[in-house]
Structure 1
Amino acid sequence: MSSPASDVVNLHDIRLARKMLESVVRETPIRSCRALTDRVGTPVHLKCENLQRTGSFKIRGAYVRIAGLSDAERARGVVAASAGNHAQGVALAARTLGVASTVFMPAGAPLPKVAATRSYGAEVILGGDNVEHALAAARAHADETGAVFIHPFDHRDVVAGQGTVGLEILEQCPEVETILVGTGGGGLLAGISVAVKALRPDVKVIGVQAASAAAYPPSLAAGAPVSLPSFGTMADGIAVGRPGEVPFALIRAYTDAIRTVGEESLSQALLLCMERAKLVVEPAGAASVAALLEAGEPIEGPVVAVLSGGNVDPLLMLRVLRHGLASAGRYLSLRVRIPDSPGALATLLGRLAETDANIAAVSHVRTDATLRVGEADVDLQLETKGRSHCAAVVEALYGAGYTVSKS
C-alpha cells in the first residue's frame, strides 16, 4: 500500500528501530486464549506487551526517540509527561542511554507508576488534574531549561519504535487475519498499521478506544485531529482527548477501522485476562479484548489482540474487578428494608442463605430520613453465580415480602 503518509513513517524506519531495540526490549510472547476463542468462534491470540520491560510497549518508542538525539541534545536532558507507562518508558530509556530525565505526572497518577518511574532514575514532578495539564507543564519546562520534550505518541521516531510490535506479530502468528489495538493518542496503532500494511495488506488492523474517550471517530470524520470537549475513562492509558498529528495521518491512511468499547466491557476484559489467561492487564491494555466481548460486526480470525500494558494500580484493580464481577452478574449490591425489631436481620440473612448467595458484606442502617419509625435498611454485598442467579436472589426477597433496591 502506498500513500503520502509513508513519507512520515515507513517500513524501513520500523526495521531500523527494531535493530536499535535488539538488546533493549523483549520480544514479548503471543499466547492463545481458549476462553476468547470459544466465545467468538475463531482463534484468538494475545500479544503480551504487558510482559514488556517497564510493563508496557512504551519503552520501544521512547528508546528510539531518545537514541536519535544528538550529543548536544542528550546533554540538555529530556522531559516527558505521562499518567504512567510513557513515564516509565522514558525513564528507563534515558537511564540506559545515560541521559537525565524529568517526568511530569498528574497529581492523581497511580502511586505504583510514580514509584516505578522514580526507580528508573527520573525526577518526577506531580501536578495538574490530567495528562493534558502534565503535557503543558512538561512543554513549559522544556522551553525554560532546553530539555528535549519526548512526546508520548506524536513523533515519527516514537511511532517507528511502536511499529516493531507489528513486525513481531506477523512473525509469531503468520496466519493472523485481524489485529486489535487499544488506542489513545494513536502511536501504537499507527506503528502497527504501517508495518502490517507494508508486509501483509490483507490483514485488517482495528483500533479500539474507550467510548468515553474516543477522539479518533470524530477526527477521522472531520479529516483532521479534533479535541474532545471532555473525556474520562477507567482506562487512563488511553484517556487522550486529541489524536496526535503524526499518528493521525498514518491511521487515516492505513488503519481499517476504529471501534469503541464501554466501561463494563473494559472491566470484564480485565477480569477475563486475569481469570482465564492468568495475565495481569491494566484497563487500557485490555481494550482489545473488550472489543471481542462486545457484540458488533464479526471479526475475522485468527485474531491477535494486543495487551498493551499491565501497570495497574492495585486499588484501581480492586474497583475494576468488583465492577467486572457486577457486570458479569457475580457481585450484587442490594438495599433491603426490614422491620427494626429483634431477629429481623437474622431472618433476612436466613432467606439469603436459602438462595445460595454468599454474603461478602452487610451494613445495618437504622437512622435515615427515608425510614419510618420501626424500619431499618440493610445494605448487602453478595457474591453470586451469574445474572440468572442475581435475578433469582432478588425474586426470592420480593417473594418473602421485602422491599428491595439496588445500592
Structure 2
Amino acid sequence: MTSREPSTSPEDDLPEEEASQGDAAQGSAPRDDLSRDDLSQGDAAQGAVAAQEAEAPPPLAAVTPPLVRLERVVASDDAGPHGDARGRLHHAEAAFAPGVHMILGTPEDGTLALAHVLSGRTRPSSGRVRVGGHDPARHAKTRARLGALLGAPELPDTRTVAAVVEMAQRARGEARPSAAALLDGRGLGRLLARRPVSLSFAEARAVELALALSTPEPLCVVLVEPFAEVTSLDAAALRVELHALAEKGACVLVLTSSRTDAWALGDHVHQLDRGVLLPALPAGRGGEIVVQVEEPRPGEEAAGGGVRALATALTEVPGLQAVAWEEAQRAPQVPSGGDTPHPTPPAPTLALSTLRVRAADLDAASLSILDAATRAGVVLASIRTATPPPTRRQVGRTVQPGGGR
C-alpha cells in the first residue's frame, strides 16, 4: 500500500505539459563477421511514431491499450542512504498494454524509481507518465485503481493491521471494507490484531501485496520483487492470480532482478539497464536478434565497450549459430564559431552500432546477450527480433542495402 500522497500545488490544475520528442540519425560501416554463416538480411529502416493524447482524456471505463505509457521520463528514487537516490531513469520510454510485463533489473538500474512514478508515489523530474490516460500523481481516481507493492513497506502506524487495511479499502472506494475477508483467505489472519510497527519486513510486504492484488477494477498493478521476502507466499498461486488480473484487462508490471522469475511468469520481458528501459526481449524458438549498441564517445574509447567488445564476449557463449556486426560511423564534426579565434568544440554525438545474433533458442540468446553486455561494460540501446527475410517473389522487387546487388 502506498500511504504517501504526492504534494499538490496550484499548478496541478494547469494543463499537463507536452513531452518533446527527438529523432536520431546515424550511419553504419560495412560489418565484420565472426561466423561463416551469412545472416539473413532484415529491413534496417525504422521510424518513430509519437502518440498524441486528446485534449480531454477519455473516461477510465473507455480506456484502450496501451494502458501505461512513459514518455522520456527522468526520475530517481529516495532509497539510498539519507534519502539519496539509489537508482535513476534516463529518458525512459515505453508503452504497456494489458498483460503481464516483467521488468528485469536492479534498484541501481532504476527499478524503484520506475515503481515510484508508475504508482503515483512521486512525479518524474521531466517527461510524462500516463496510466489509463491520466497522470497517476495528479489523478486520485486513477490511484484508486492502482495496486502497488514497492521496495520497502509503507504501512502507516495505526492501532492494528485491520485498521490499516480497512482504511486503505475505504480510500479506494470500497463500500464494505473487511480486513478479515482479505487477509484470512491469504493465511494472514493472525496479523489482524497486531500493530503495523510490530510486523517483520516480510509480514508487512505480505499485507501490502494482499492490498495490491485486491485493487477494485485495477488499471495497473505494480509489484517490486513479489516473490521475495513475503510471508505465507504461494508462488504458484500468485502466478495464476497475476495472469487472471491480466486476462481481466489489467496491466501487471513486475519488477525483479530474478531472471528465473521473469521468464517463468512474464508474457513480455523487458530489460531496465542503467536507467534505460529496453523494449520486450526476444523470446521463442529460433531466429535472429538485432541489438543496437552505444559506442564510446570520443575520448572515452580507452574505457572499452562498444559493439566489438560485445561481439568478442559472445564468441565464448555456446549455442549461438552466428554473430555479425555493423559498426557505426560518426559524421565528421566541424567546431562551431566560424573564424573566431576560440571556436566552440562540437558536442559528442551518440553513435549506435548494430549487432546481429542468430540462435536456435531466443530465450537463452537474449539472456546471453544481457550477460555478455554486463561483463563487457557495454550499453544496449535496443534489442529486438529481426524482420523476417522477404519471400522469393518479393526479392526481385526489393532494393537491397548497399546498392541492390
What is the TM-score with the length of structure 1 in the denominator?
0.25
Higher helix share: 1
Higher RCO by CA contacts (8 Å cutoff, separation 6 or greater): 2
TM-score (norm 2): 0.25
